[in-house]
Structure 1
Amino acid sequence: MRIAVDAMGGDNAPKAIVEGVLLAHQEFPDIEFQLYGKETEIRRYLNGEINIRVIHTDEKINSDDEPVKAIRRKKQASMVLAAQAVKNGEADAIFSAGNTGALLAAGLFIVGRIKGIERPGLLSTMPVIGSETGFDMLDLGANAENKPEHLVQYGILGSFYAANVRGITKPRVGLLNNGTEASKGSELTKKAFELLSQETSIHFVGNVEARDILTGVADVVVTDGFTGNAVLKSIEGTALNIVNLLKTSILDSGVKGKIGALLLKDALKNLKNEMDYAKYGGAVLFGLKAPVVKTHGSTGPEAVAATIRQIHTMLETQVVDKLVKQFEENSPE
């Protein structure tokens, strides 16, 4: 297995990226890591480990760069070179914590989409309260606008990922809506509901509401990219603000509150871990010819290692190869 890593992407690059790679290297010595970026900065954190190559480049894509322009103009950027390595067959997957839009553009224009898939979706595994299984949700922002047919493909893609990567038998697919009744929603969701109900390749369980998705009402939740991105950021913001509110309340509650917090330390830590979806890995632009995976820009070494673990599973289960076979066989000439 060969993973091309944009070592210069993210707020804490290359330190957090390289340290995360080193953690993953201990777990998966069979992976060849290709680190693209400034060699002197990257090697500062390496000690001559085998199966870790450094490919030098001075150019990188910044967080404020316009995605498509950056991909087309910065031909020697670490992200672009990593994507090109996948296209050329020199690597099996690409990982970055950098500019999300640029990585999506690199995935679409360089790696390329699978024949028969009109709009690849950004998929992430989210936490389910009281369970270790989680649920998959897409699209989380790869496409701002979608047609009903795209949501049907997201159902197929999400079900395929849940079954092959997470080992879920007959994944339950739900359509995110403002009510569970079939008559609820916009014209987009009403038509998507109708089409999903007719799709025999998935186990469609109907509409699901945003308030229920963290309770495990479905194994796969599909929605348009605009809504999915808004829901994702709402979950992130709520989790962060709850933790901050608890901290503030404890600090303002005097000695008794601090003693109580000390007694509840393990429980609060478990709560934080349960709401941390980074443990499941990064967001996959699913529907491309190879795994293209993005993790949060402020990610730390542990989250980088978790993302590499996710990529290892994707490569080990050959989920993309199976997806290519399924869609190309069913795609009209």
Structure 2
Amino acid sequence: MGSTQARIAIDAMGGDHAPAEIVAGALRAQEELGVKILLVGDPEEVGAAVRKHTSASPLEIIPAEGTIEMGEEPLSALRRKPKASINVAMDLVKRKEADAVVSAGHSGAVMAAALLRLGRLKGIDRPAIGAVLPTLIAGKPVIILDVGANVDCRPKFLEQFAFMGTVYSQYVLGIETPKVGLLNIGEESSKGNELALRTHQLLQKNPQIPFVGNAEGRDVLSGNFDVIVCDGFVGNVLLKFAEAVGEVALQILREELPQGVRGKIGTSVLKPNLRRIKQRMDHAEHGGGLLLGVDGVCIISHGSSQAPTIFNAVRLAREAIDNRVLDRIQSRYKEDSQTSAVSGQQDG
């Protein structure tokens, strides 16, 4: 994008703590990340939340009416509420008035709105939510996809997830040749169910995917893999379990620090270390998941997101924009298709 300021549309009405925490995170993001924030939601509610922080609103508010509630069926609710905040935010991206959408609202509604209003990237059958998690190797994250967009998958879908994860890992995470793994119950190629067996074969044959084999559950956060693919059912369970383990570990750490004067002195000495530990383990530091495969940058954050998570979600969106992730996926997919066509002709 060069020096052009990224424009991020934020669904200010989505999430358990909307709009107060969403606004707080948005204000910090615009101030520190050099982006332009468009807050989408009820002007009175959003405006009141902004005024709690500053008298002169530095953020543009885009009017919307209502939101999609967690108990609502996404597709019917989106059609019934065309002016809901997530619909309005997606329309801004569709009209090129924003470069990305961030929402902590109903994740199913966010994905459905993205598909209905933005459409899929050419050649991608199903979008996937990619979550970036820390590993045992400092500074070496892993992207896991899908973590919730597709409960049931075909082998071809998982192959496309691996392809998109490879591009993201290369251009956003800076890994020249990512190691791609397929989540399975064993390292051997003969292990797993029918989906795993057939996907393994596809990944092995695809020259655009640096596939290194199966990854067991214990390998996910080891740092031995850069991209791990699985269906959305397994991925969502895995993601929520990993987040819970992180929260438990942080809580145990707090409880086990010495109490009293000794504890205060020890804690002050360890403060920089504790801050780094929190940054590596706390899911709020990662912002949410990037919905890869739709024709627009879309970040899906946790429903419980507070200001730090929204700030990091905006950072994640800006990284995807700056590194032209969608363009690279599309251009690499075209190259892959052309290579496959030539190979098919030669085989014929």
Q: Please, what TM-score do these two structures have when normalized by structure 1? A: 0.91
Aligned mates of 1:56, 1:34 — CA distance in 2 = 10
| Change in 2 beyond 3 A, CA 1:330/1:269 | closer
Q: CA deviation at 1:92?
A: 1.5
Partner of 2:309: 303
Q: Offset at 1:246?
A: 4.8
Are positions 1:48 and 2:56 aligned together? yes
| Identity across the alignment (%) | 36
Following superposition, the deviation at residue 64 of structure 1 comes to: 2.0
Residue in 2 that maps onto 1:166: 173
Counterpart in the other structure of 2:162:
155
**Which residue is equivalent to 1:6?**
11
Per-residue deviation, 1:83: 0.8
Q: Who is 2:346 aligned against? A: none
Matched, 1:292 2:298: yes
**One-letter amino acid of the structure 2 residue matched with residue 48 of structure 1:** A
Q: Which residue of 1 aligns with 2:37?
A: 33
Larger CA deviation: 296-305 vs 155-164: 296-305
Q: What amino acid is aligned across from residue 44 of structure 2 in structure 1?
A: T
Preserved contact between residue 129 and residue 274 of structure 1 (Cα < 8 Å): no
Aligned equivalent of 1:271, options 260, 277, 291 = 277
Q: 1:330 to 1:175 in 2, by over 3 A?
A: closer
CA distance in 2, matches of 1:74, 1:331: 39
Partner of 2:149 in structure 1?
Answer: 142
| Cα distance in 1, alignment partners of residues 147 and 30 from structure 2 | 29
Alignment of 1:122-271 (within 5 A): 122-247=129-254, 262=267, 266=271, 267-271=273-277
Identify the match of residue 93 of structure 2 among 86, 99, 103. Answer: 86
Q: Compute the displacement of 1:307 (Å).
A: 1.2
1:241 deviation in Å?
A: 2.7
Cα distance, 1:148 vs structure 2:
1.1
Is this contact kept in 1: 2:115–2:294, CA < 8 A? Answer: yes
Instruction: Please state how far the C-alpha of 1:327 moved relative to its aligned partner.
Output: 2.9
**Letter matched to residue 41 of structure 2:** G
Equivalent position amino acid for 1:6 in 2: D
Other structure's SS at 1:205 match:
strand
- Given that 1:289 and 1:324 are in contact with CA atoms closer than 8 Å, whether structure 2 keeps it comes out as no
1:127–1:276 contact (8 Å) kept in structure 2 = no
Quick check: 1:101 aligned with 2:108? Answer: yes
**Residue equivalent to 1:15:** 20
Identify which range, 240-249 or 106-115, moves more after superposition. Answer: 240-249
Matched residues in 2 for 1:270 and 1:308: separation?
Answer: 21
TM-score (norm 2): 0.87
Structure-2 separation of matches of 1:164 and 1:106 = 26
2:288 is aligned, of 274, 282, 290, to 282
CA deviations on 1:125-153 (whole Å, 9 max, x unpaired) are 11112412211010001000111111111
Unaligned runs of 5+ in 1: none
Deviation, structure 1 residue 43: 1.9
